Amino acid sequence: MNILSVDRITKTIGDKELFKEISFGLNEGEKSGLIGVNGSGKTTLFRIIAGLDEPDSGLVVRARALSISFLPQIPEFEGDFSVNHYIKTDRARAILHELGVENREVKISELSVGMQKKTALANILSEESNLLILDEPTNHLDIGSILWLQNHLQKSPGALLLVTHDRYFLENITDTIYELERNELRKYEGSYSTYLEKKALREEIEMQAEKKAARLYRSELEWLRRQPKARGTKQKARIDRADELADRDRPEMKDKFSFATSGRRLGNKILEVKNLGKSYAEKKLFSNFNHAFKQREHTGIVGPNGSGKSTFLNILTGRLEPDTGSVIAGVNTHFGYFDQTSAELDNEMHVLDYVRKNGGEIVETADGSKIEAWQMLEYFHFKGRMQHTKIARLSGGEKRRLYLVLILMSNPNFLILDEPTNDLDIATLSLLEDFLFHFGGCILVSSHDRYFLDRVADSLLVLDGNGKIEFFTGNCSEYLESLETLKSQNRKSRSAPGEGRKELPMIAEKTAPEIGELRKIKFTNKEKQEFQVLEIEIPALEKEKLELEEFLASPAADHREISRKGARLAEVTNLIDTKFARWNELSDRI
């Protein structure tokens, strides 16, 4: 059954046409992903579908039974209250518990961006809707939370519209891919990998057709040059055909130049970290960490939200001072730090001028050729007049892309990337991955994107959220597989109590459900009875809470009774929270 129809809608912002007369439909239970470069109009399209914006022309027809829940890329919270103030349902509280958010008395403004995202997600996922619209839901989430969300969406019976740069996420959830490209919307049935195959085939067909049209155009021009000046009917037809060929819509050609930049030569000493430690208030982020970076070391950093990944990177680059220990960089080590803010961009400058002034005119490649600033910008999708646009007019994702070009043009030999996938589109990430693959220096990248980490890092630094940093040899998928293997071994070891268990650095402990509990203890008879009682008590308490709220909303209520019922409401609310937490703990063992 069709629940949504988009019929020939067009949208222009300023002088930029985002999409023109695009149409598609969505059926019950359909799970679709939307991809496209930054600035192509993905977020605008989602806002139009959700009813938060209007198209310039065309129609969006929503079924009468359609109920939409929309998660924007950057969640907004009115006022500055505690997490509990924003939580709408008990189901949302249970989801927060699953996502590792236990302290709900803290103000929303005091939370990290990742924790704020989890709070917004909990509300959206708990709503009774049959269409979820999620704009970059994995941004700022740790890997464990992404895995939990992936599993939740796979099981959800409702329809889904999703924008994400996380390719494993797309592959495992969606059954249809839509792509916004050059003002048009194309549909590809199947998973993300199927989309890649179909798109490659379509582009090959288009390129063959373009070559044929180019040959015909040259032939027509040659014929016209040989003809006398008289304009007969036949000649006019040939001229018209030549004009049509000249004005044809050409497929975008793929730029080709080597991304293996020469880089500055690294010395024998690159970067040494000795007895490094840092704490904030009562929370110890890490302590006694030692590491010496080697030539061409490509390492990823993983860990739960709030475990100190950005703090660690800021200490390495001298932006923060450690509490203990030291960081010693080699004399030839030149950092390129792609941080999360892009704060140093000058909005009043034009794109090309800014890169030339701050990144340089030319970067030399490994084979001795040179890449000019305008070429690097073109490669990263700043085509033509976009290079002469003021930075202030760029979208958030386009600014991040520009900041990346700036960093690469500075020709560093030690690249540090802090969550580079948060605001970059898939096309840009693919280009960045190619660059990093050929990069001859060191790379240290903090990311929650499993696909990106698998492509660029062959080792990991794992922050457990409780003061430890462990080194793991292997990529992200191998690390997650190792945790699954450890879980299996631990289950077996319970049948042989005398045997020791193998230890492996964990992404997190109870503070965030990164991979799930490593050990699941079976129910005792007493706990089984407790679980059954909770399944009766919780609905009864929720019913009582609803009745109390209805009574307190009545204007005719006696003030003494209001006081008594209000006290009981607070008591019931606390009981529900406590019993839900216990119910979740026990349900994890099922």
Whether residue 312 is found in the same domain as residue 461 = yes
Whether residue 10 is found in the same domain as residue 120 = yes
Q: What is the pLDDT of residue 343?
A: 66
Q: How far apart are the first and last CA of the chain?
A: 35
Q: Rounded distance, CA 477 to CA 46, Å?
A: 31
Q: What is the pLDDT of residue 565?
A: 80
- With respect to residue 223, please indicate whether it lies within any of the assigned structural domains: no
Whether residue 469 is found in the same domain as residue 535 = no
- Structural domains in the chain (count): 3
Q: What is the pLDDT of residue 452?
A: 93
- With respect to residue 494, please indicate whether it lies within any of the assigned structural domains: no
**Which of 478, 510, 536 finishes a domain?**
478
Predicted confidence (pLDDT) at residue 543 exceeds the cutoff of 90: no
Query: Which of 45-54, 112-121, 463-472 tops mean pLDDT?
Result: 45-54
- With respect to residue 459, please indicate whether it lies within any of the assigned structural domains: yes
Predicted confidence (pLDDT) at residue 281 exceeds the cutoff of 80: no
Q: What is the pLDDT of residue 502?
A: 43
Q: Nearest-CA neighbor of 364 among 354, 375, 372, 374?
A: 372
Predicted confidence (pLDDT) at residue 524 exceeds the cutoff of 80: no
Q: What is the pLDDT of residue 247?
A: 65
Q: Nearest-CA neighbor of 248 among 214, 220, 276?
A: 214
**What integer best gives the mean pLDDT of the chain?**
83
Residue-number span of the structural domain to which 67 is assigned: 2-195
- With respect to residue 267, please indicate whether it lies within any of the assigned structural domains: no
Q: Nearest-CA neighbor of 400 among 432, 370, 440?
A: 432
Whether residue 103 is found in the same domain as residue 25 = yes
- How large a percentage of the chain has pLDDT more than 90? 40
Q: Sign of the C-alpha dihedral, residues 447, 453, 456, 458? A: positive
> pLDDT per residue over 425-443, tens digit each?
898 898 889 888 888 889 9
Once rounded to an integer, what is the mean pLDDT over residues 394-413? 88
Once rounded to an integer, what is the mean pLDDT over residues 367-395? 86
Which residues face 460 on adjacent strands? Answer: 300, 472
Q: What is the pLDDT of residue 240?
A: 65
How many other C-beta atoms are found inside a 10 Å radius of the C-beta of residue 567? 10
Whether residue 468 is found in the same domain as residue 529 = no
Asked if residues 413 and 263 have their Cβ atoms less than 8 Å apart, the reply is yes
DSSP 107: B
Measured CA distances, 479 to 125, 141, 469, 473 (Å):
29, 18, 14, 8
Predicted confidence (pLDDT) at residue 132 exceeds the cutoff of 90: yes
**Which of 172, 195, 218 finishes a domain?**
195
Q: What is the pLDDT of residue 519?
A: 35
Q: What is the pLDDT of residue 182?
A: 87
pLDDT-based confidence at residue 510 (cuts at 50, 70, 90): very low
- With respect to residue 261, please indicate whether it lies within any of the assigned structural domains: no
Q: What is the pLDDT of residue 528?
A: 75
- How large a percentage of the chain has pLDDT more than 70? 84
Once rounded to an integer, what is the mean pLDDT over residues 212-231? 69
Q: Rounded distance, CA 157 to CA 130, Å?
A: 8
Asked if residues 431 and 256 have their Cβ atoms less than 8 Å apart, the reply is no
pLDDT-based confidence at residue 325 (cuts at 50, 70, 90): very high
Predicted confidence (pLDDT) at residue 539 exceeds the cutoff of 60: yes
Q: Rounded distance, CA 453 to CA 363, Å?
A: 26
Q: Rounded distance, CA 324 to CA 415, Å?
A: 24
> pLDDT per residue over 229-268, tens digit each?
655 655 666 666 666 666 656 555 554 554 555 556 777 8
Once rounded to an integer, what is the mean pLDDT over residues 494-523? 41
Which residues face 292 on adjacent strands? Answer: 272
Q: What is the pLDDT of residue 41?
A: 92
Once rounded to an integer, what is the mean pLDDT over residues 451-465? 91
Whether residue 77 is found in the same domain as residue 172 = yes
**Which of 195, 212, 243 finishes a domain?**
195
Predicted confidence (pLDDT) at residue 521 exceeds the cutoff of 50: no
Whether residue 467 is found in the same domain as residue 531 = no
- With respect to residue 542, please indicate whether it lies within any of the assigned structural domains: yes
pTM for the predicted model, two decimal places: 0.72
Sheet holding 159-163, edge to edge: 68-71, 131-135, 159-163, 31-35, 176-181, 184-189
Q: Sign of the C-alpha dihedral, residues 471, 476, 482, 488? A: positive
Whether residue 443 is found in the same domain as residue 315 = yes
Q: Which residues contact 124 (CB under 8 A, 6 or more apart)?
A: 69, 70, 71, 132, 134
Residue whose entry in the numeric block shows the structure tokens 């690159």: 270
Whether residue 451 is found in the same domain as residue 561 = no
Q: Rounded distance, CA 425 to CA 401, Å?
A: 9
DSSP string, 274-293: EEEEEEETTEEEEEEEEEEE
- With respect to residue 107, please indicate whether it lies within any of the assigned structural domains: yes
Whether residue 15 is found in the same domain as residue 161 = yes
Q: What is the pLDDT of residue 469?
A: 93
Whether residue 459 is found in the same domain as residue 542 = no
Whether residue 379 is found in the same domain as residue 438 = yes
Which residues face 60 on adjacent strands? Answer: 6
> pLDDT per residue over 163-210, tens digit each?
999 999 999 999 999 999 889 999 999 999 999 888 888 878 877 877
Higher pLDDT, 49 or 263: 49
Higher pLDDT, 66 or 506: 66
The packing angle between helices 90-98 and 559-587, to 10°, is: 40
- With respect to residue 489, please indicate whether it lies within any of the assigned structural domains: no
Q: What is the pLDDT of residue 254?
A: 52
pLDDT-based confidence at residue 534 (cuts at 50, 70, 90): confident
- At 360, which CATH number? 3.40.50.300
Q: What is the pLDDT of residue 340?
A: 84
Predicted confidence (pLDDT) at residue 581 exceeds the cutoff of 90: no
Q: What is the pLDDT of residue 249?
A: 61
Q: What is the pLDDT of residue 587?
A: 66
